[in-house]
Structure 1
Amino acid sequence: MTDSRLPDDWLHALPGMLAGGDCVLVTVARTQSSAPRGAGTSMLVGTAHCIDTIGGGHLEWQAIHHARRLLDAGNRQPALLRYNLGARLGQCCGGVVWLLFESLPATSADAWKSRISAVDRNICLERRLTYRSAASDWRLSEQPGSGNRLDGDAADWRFHQGIVDSRFPVMLFGAGHVARALVRQLQPLGARITWIDSRDDAFADVAVDGICTLITDIPESEVRNAPAGSYFLVMTHNHSLDFALCEEIFKRRDFAYFGLIGSHSKRASFEHRLRDRGLPAERFDELTCPIGIAGIVGKEPAAIALAVAAQMLQIENSRHLLRQAGQRRLSDPHRLPEEP
């Protein structure tokens, strides 16, 4: 099993990038008004190629150009540059972006592998950097949470960043056509997928890089082992197994999403059987069946997968906003001055 890579998951891409030589980590340290990406967004720039994006357009082109100048000159000193996203830069966002450039040596690859392993265990990776620093101070912290803060002014600035694993846990039961299409949709969207089936050859012809795959005769046991906040999707080849999984999932009250593939008649049948087994009727609202957002009526596996992935992403985005709203606001008495 390998770690899944998101389109903007620079962290997991870094060791591979460093295998080819030094690179520059470009980070959005702060934004004002409209900007292509938010603070904390990062990309890696090497001499031959780049990984991920800070928003594209002329801003990104300028950032890549500056990063490669640093690499060519062997300049390791971190730098903070301000970009006005107006006509002069060839962009019409109208906001302001502060970009932080920091060269990372190829010799640090092993250290980064250790940091990545810690982040995957839900440990926060903290970054602290000042205008005087020769390099960022990277530390691991058991305190949960992430955030970005740029304080000071152009001559005396301080940057703090907290990096955590933001992937959401998906427990996918069944490896049929829809499940395969759904995996392709979910991987780039930030899902940490555990894919479970009872058939020995379920994943024989499937690319499973970045996915935890499990073959088990008792997939119900994986429901009990799933982390809190999991997204459960039941779409096996067997209705009896679907029902057994539904029973097990309903024993929990801490899931973020519970989807069952099938029609309204399948839902009605399952509800009747669950009611006979003592499940309170009010809990049926926790089950999504049929699955997928409204308005996509195609029955092709790719169409169903698109509708389901969109539905899950809507829920995850809402949960993310709620988590942000609940975070403690940091006092920033020395913020960089606002632009007029």
Structure 2
Amino acid sequence: MKSIKELFETAKAAMENKKDFVFVTVIASSGSTPRGAGSKMLVLPDGTSFGTIGGGNVEHTAVLESQNLLKAKKSACQAYRLQENQAADLGMICGGDVSLYFQYLSWDNDAFYKLCCQLLKDWDKNENAWLILDITEEAVWQCGYYQEKSGLIGLSVSEPSSLLKQHAVQATISGRRYYSEPLIRKGMVYIFGGGHVAQELVPLLAHLDFSCTVFDDRKQFSNPKLFPDASRCIRGEFSQLSDYLEITAEDYVCIMTRGHQYDYLVQQQILKTPAKYIGVMGSRRKKAMIWDKLLNDGFTPKELKRIQTPIGLDIRAETPAEIAVSIAGELIQVRAAEEKQQ
């Protein structure tokens, strides 16, 4: 499954290769539907699809509908009721309702191509951004995105603030109907130490729409060629983090340096920041040793409880790849919990 960023990269590539396509977006759902609002899929004329809106026969039906709309060169909205009898007809037992937006896009749609280019250029700026669709007319829908510093690109909406939520929303503004979803979430994952686990973790997190910065004091382990999926690689001194970066309340920190002393130095500085999440790789023995030093530095037990050690969900992970999965799972959990609160 492609990440949201990869879907827009695919869209851009399709337009450059003179291929029309349909973006399928879940714009509303209720009950036990497979995927929630904001789930996306891109469909080409031959039925090739990228991304997912939940799989099963709903997705299969959506691919067929996309092919029909590609032939007609039209956009549309389609609601599917997955109650018990209809669900059985589709080979599904989940139940619920789902509304899909099928956005037809011609390869020569210059406005959307420019929007894709700008969006991908802005992706790693670590700023919140929202995808906004004008769904007033079913067959002629427009698309834009809003970024905190740049404002709204591709659409003109009076008072867009009501559309800027941390979850998908629909709203009527000045007589027009809009759908909005968070596209890019502010918050960087800072990974201290570019060893084996980091090398497994960065591509996995990038695939999950997390932006990553890798920090190491060794050139070979803070190299963009080693971490092509990272937003940034920094070579610097572990004892002077503030010289290179600023940790905010939206950021996640994963500490996995090559030694106890470096882990201690990083934790000592990170505890003074408002980081949303702090995870440290290592054994309970290592945790006890470093915590004793941090307590002697004046940190309180309450402050030290901000640190998750061992890092990641307890799935009995052993290999670097397995540990990366456990860390990614924990970051997903933290992100989802915050979204639910909002």
Same fold (TM over 0.5): yes
1:200 pairs with 2:219: yes
Cα distance in 2, alignment partners of residues 62 and 168 from structure 1: 36
- Cross-structure match for 2:189: 170
Match runs of 1:17-28 below 5 Å: 17-20=14-17, 21-28=19-26
Gaps of at least 5 residues in structure 1 are 324-340
AA at the equivalent of 1:67:
S
Quote the offset at 1:52 in angstroms: 0.4
1:56 pairs with 2:55: yes
Contact residue 127 and residue 162 of structure 1 kept, 8 A = no
Residues 281/306 of structure 1: CA separation in 2 closer, same or farther (3 Å cut): same
AA at the equivalent of 2:320:
P
Cα distance in 1, alignment partners of residues 262 and 323 from structure 2: 21
User: Deviation per CA, 1:188-235, whole angstroms, max 9, x where unpaired?
Assistant: 333211111111112569653331242423242377423322111111
- Report the count of equivalent residues: 312
Superposition TM-score, scaled by structure 2 size = 0.80
SS in 2 for 1:182: helix
- Cross-structure match for 1:293: 313
Residues 133/46 of structure 1: CA separation in 2 closer, same or farther (3 Å cut): closer
Quote the offset at 1:165 in angstroms: 0.5
Quote the offset at 1:62 in angstroms: 1.2
Cα distance in 1, alignment partners of residues 225 and 232 from structure 2: 11
- Cross-structure match for 2:303: 283
Contact residue 202 and residue 227 of structure 2 kept, 8 A = no
SS in 1 for 2:220: coil
1:191 pairs with 2:210: yes
How much identity, in percent, do the aligned residues show? 27
- Cross-structure match for 2:38: 40
AA at the equivalent of 1:306:
V
Contact residue 15 and residue 107 of structure 2 kept, 8 A = yes
2:3 to 6, 17, 26: 6
Match runs of 1:70-109 below 5 Å: 70-73=69-72, 75-76=73-74, 78-85=75-82, 86-107=87-108, 108=110, 109=113
Gaps of at least 5 residues in structure 2 are 149-160
Cα distance in 1, alignment partners of residues 305 and 122 from structure 2: 37
User: Deviation per CA, 1:54-103, whole angstroms, max 9, x where unpaired?
Assistant: 11111111111111122233x23x21122233122222222222222121
Stretch deviating more after TM superposition (63-72 or 117-126): 117-126
SS in 1 for 2:135: strand
Quote the offset at 1:37 in angstroms: 1.1
Quote the offset at 1:148 in angstroms: 3.8
Cα distance in 2, alignment partners of residues 87 and 222 from structure 1: 60
Contact residue 149 and residue 161 of structure 1 kept, 8 A = yes
Cα distance in 1, alignment partners of residues 178 and 134 from structure 2: 6
Relative contact order, CA 8 A, sep 6+: which one is greater? 1
SS in 2 for 1:201: helix
SS in 2 for 1:214: strand
Aligned-residue RMSD, C-alpha: 2.9
SS in 2 for 1:164: strand
Residues 7/206 of structure 1: CA separation in 2 closer, same or farther (3 Å cut): same
1:272 to 292, 304, 317: 292
Quote the offset at 1:9 in angstroms: 5.7
1:242 pairs with 2:246: no
